[in-house]
């Protein structure tokens, strides 16, 4: 049936008739989004009212299945828009994003607090044992019911109104927090005036700094930006200590100056604590963790503190080694945070007889993309066919059709790999369309977005081994979406608990360094020769080098996240986020030579949305799982073992949230793991 849209609405936002079923990005403009959202929000509420006010008795089909299919128009316009807001934003998009934040929160509250809708859902839920539902349908029913309760469906009218107001306020703060970080990153540009300050920098980094300067109108200059793909290697190789200090301080102070995020955190933390109390929880952490594998803040802190003590002890030994190296150079300064990367790279070069530049020459972006694809082909039988000339949100974006073993269309995959000032920092996977089989069904459209430094035209795109791991990581998320094989949209792909969703991504990283992939895809950009075995062995031997630093950076961030969200309403009131962060760091004994990976004012995982709040630990929790899971292939004696790959696909990559994560892992591996494999992997034993 053809939908008739109001004259103010651009149908291209909803009727995706581009190649491979993609939106026609050349058919709409930013000005089309506001009327598009207005239409889609109303259409969704009309669908909800029809379900809630259905005169027939509530059934699984007319209530739960109807809810699963409702809101398709809103999903379409929102996924296009929020992809643009993260990957290619501008002033108009940001203004609309600020306007939409409270509207979207209010919209969600209208649905989750719809009394008639909850009564129908509850009626079906109370009959669940007599409905003969299969395991997936039963889980979907339970998740819908719990979702309503956790969103305030059982509160009285007064408390529901208060909760809706809190959600709207928080949504506005989240948007502001993310936009402040983006503004700081986009505005910072440190031109390098002295040629001597380029000494020691790899050629590929110098090329990227030239490209960054030219994009900002400084042709034939070089610039440091706060893109991780520039700032981190700059801090690793820059010989000018004062310049390192200046750039490091700019990097770690994002969100603290003109674009002040501390004020927003001072509002966010108490509102989250108040929300938790309204819903009957001791803290926001208790609320967030209830439906995860970890279950409780105590379980999370037990893991974090176990790693913290081991990481801190190792970091202290690493700091002594760096101090000795500084003394050997005839200098008398202490190891400062802006020194660590520089001297640890020197030490790694000395200890393992290679440097990052030497290794980077073998890691070309296109070849690593091919390696990620080929690994998926060997494990899961899928293949990738690149499509040229498809209009997308930026000329740099690439798109592939994904085919199953029989050559049938399975999914669409896009890769947006290069940093730009219109893109937020970091790397992430997201979906324009999620897989499901309900109604007409849908095939997935999955996106990977990254921030690699773009070299001048004609130069090879070389990435570090850490960046290559990031690519494999995000592609693991993408596979979780593309291989999804469930009936219901709400449990498809990555719609899982936060401490389970990182398993498919972190596990996939292991395949980057299997010898078969390295010999075929890690080839020198000039000679085409595979990376020498002795060089790669040095890299693998050095895998846990600097692991004290890495784990202190990460675990301190996770502990601070948990501490903020373990506060009850009274403790969170009138909080000074900067003082509180410092208090926690002092309590845990944070080494003065290292800073948090994500300090509070730029902790986007936690404060630019709800996703990783009281959840940053999840990377480590999933790390326990992924370390153990890859052992299954090692024990089989083949990283591409067919039997293990089939079990991996069935129980991990294809099941989404259709079954309980613990049951899924046990079905794959036979038992839940202990942290031992993680500690060994991270060099902390």
Residues 6+ apart with CB under 8 A from 156: none
In 353-457, where does DSSP find H-type helix?
A: 356-360, 365-380
Per-residue b or e along 236-247, where b marks 16 or more CB atoms closer than 10 Å to that residue's CB: bbbebeebbeeb
Determine whether 474 is an active site residue: yes
Q: Is 195 exposed, middle or buried (0-12, 13-18, 19+ CB in 10 A)?
A: exposed
What is d(CA 14, CA 611) in angstroms, rounded to the nearest whole number? Answer: 26
What is d(CA 276, CA 569) in angstroms, rounded to the nearest whole number? Answer: 8
Determine how β-strand 428-433 pairs with β-strand 445-452: antiparallel
Number of other CB atoms surrounding residue 646 within 10 Å: 13
Order of strands, edge to edge, in the sheet holding 398-403?
A: 383-387, 398-403, 409-418, 445-452, 428-433
Tell me the CA distances in angstroms from 226 to 212, 231, 360, one per residue in order.
11, 6, 21
The count of C-alpha atoms lying within 13 angstroms of the C-alpha of 296, restricted to the half-sphere facing its C-beta, is 4
Helix axes 241-252, 228-237, angle to 10 degrees: 150
Determine how β-strand 383-387 pairs with β-strand 190-191: unpaired
| Paired tokens of 452 | 């690699």
Number of other CB atoms surrounding residue 2 within 10 Å: 6
Q: Which of the residues 68, 318, 345, 474 is marked catalytic? A: 474
Give 624-664 as a DSSP string: HHHHHHHHHHHHHT-TT-HHHHHHHIIIIIS-TTSS-HHHH
Q: What is the DSSP letter of 221?
A: -
Check the CA dihedral 90-91-92-95 and report its sign. positive
| Paired tokens of 484 | 């999804």
CA 434 to chain centre: 17
CA 132 to chain centre: 37
Residues annotated catalytic, as ranges: 474
């Amino acid at each position: 049936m053809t939908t008739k849209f109001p004259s103010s609405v651009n149908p291209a936002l909803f009727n995706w008739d581009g190649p491979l079923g993609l939106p026609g990005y050349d058919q709409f403009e930013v000005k089309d989004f506001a009327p598009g959202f207005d239409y889609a929000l109303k259409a969704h509420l009309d669908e909800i009212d029809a379900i809630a006010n259905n005169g027939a008795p509530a059934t699984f089909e007319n209530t739960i299945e109807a809810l699963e299919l409702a809101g398709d128009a809103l999903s379409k316009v929102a996924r296009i828009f929020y992809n643009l807001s993260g990957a290619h934003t501008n002033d108009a998009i940001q203004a609309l994003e600020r306007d939409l934040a409270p509207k979207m929160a209010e919209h969600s509250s209208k649905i989750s607090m719809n009394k008639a809708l909850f009564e129908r859902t509850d009626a079906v839920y109370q009959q669940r044992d007599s409905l003969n539902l299969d395991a997936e349908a039963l889980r979907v029913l339970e998740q819908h019911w719990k979702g309503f309760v956790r969103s305030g469906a059982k509160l009285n009218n007064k408390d529901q109104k208060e909760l809706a107001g809190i959600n709207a306020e928080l949504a506005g703060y989240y948007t502001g927090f993310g936009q402040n970080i983006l503004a700081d990153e986009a505005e910072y540009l440190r031109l390098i005036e002295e040629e001597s300050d380029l000494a020691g920098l790899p050629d590929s980094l110098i090329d990227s700094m030239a490209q960054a300067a030219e994009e900002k109108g400084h042709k034939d200059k070089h610039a440091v930006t706060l893109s991780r793909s520039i700032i981190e290697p700059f801090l690793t190789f820059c010989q000018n200590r004062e310049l390192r200090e200046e750039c490091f301080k700019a990097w770690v102070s994002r969100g603290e100056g003109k674009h002040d995020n501390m004020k927003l955190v001072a509002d966010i933390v108490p509102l989250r604590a108040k929300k938790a109390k309204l819903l009957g929880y001791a803290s926001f952490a208790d609320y967030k963790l209830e439906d995860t594998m970890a279950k409780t803040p105590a379980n999370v802190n037990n893991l974090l503190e176990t790693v913290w003590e081991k990481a801190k002890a190792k970091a202290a030994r690493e700091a002594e080694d760096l101090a000795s190296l500084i003394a050997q150079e005839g200098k008398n300064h202490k190891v400062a945070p802006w020194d660590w990367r520089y001297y640890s790279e020197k030490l790694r070069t000395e200890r393992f007889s290679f440097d990052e530049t030497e290794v980077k020459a073998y890691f070309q972006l296109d070849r690593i993309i091919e390696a990620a694809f080929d690994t998926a082909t060997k494990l899961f039988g899928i293949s990738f066919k690149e499509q040229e000339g498809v209009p997308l949100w930026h000329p740099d974006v690439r798109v592939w059709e994904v085919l199953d073993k029989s050559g049938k269309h399975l999914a669409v995959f896009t890769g947006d790999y290069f940093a730009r000032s219109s893109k937020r920092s970091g790397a992430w996977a997201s979906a324009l369309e999620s897989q499901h089989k309900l109604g007409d069904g849908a095939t997935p459209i999955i996106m990977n977005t990254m921030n690699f430094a773009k070299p001048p035209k004609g130069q090879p795109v070389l990435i570090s081994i850490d960046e290559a791991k990031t690519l494999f990581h995000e592609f693991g998320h993408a596979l979780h979406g593309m291989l999804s094989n469930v009936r219901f949209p709400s449990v498809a792909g990555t719609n899982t608990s936060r401490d389970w969703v990182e398993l498919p991504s972190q596990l996939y990283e292991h395949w980057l360094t299997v010898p078969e992939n390295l010999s075929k895809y890690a080839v020198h950009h000039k000679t085409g020769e595979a990376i020498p075995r002795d060089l790669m062995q040095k890299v693998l031997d050095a895998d846990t080098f600097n692991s004290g630093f890495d784990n202190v950076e990460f675990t301190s961030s996770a502990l601070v996240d948990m501490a903020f969200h373990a506060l009850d309403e009274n403790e969170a009131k009138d909080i000074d986020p900067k003082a509180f962060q410092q208090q926690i760091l002092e309590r845990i004994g944070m080494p003065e030579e290292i800073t948090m990976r994500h300090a509070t004012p730029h902790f986007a995982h936690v404060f630019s949305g709800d996703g990783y709040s009281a959840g940053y630990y999840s990377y480590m929790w999933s790390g326990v799982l992924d370390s153990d899971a890859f052992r299954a292939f090692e024990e089989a004696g083949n990283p591409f073992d067919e039997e293990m790959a089939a079990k991996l696909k069935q129980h991990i990559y294809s099941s989404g949230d259709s079954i309980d994560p613990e049951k899924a892992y046990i079905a794959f591996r036979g038992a839940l793991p202990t942290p031992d494999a993680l500690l060994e992997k991270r060099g902390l034993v």
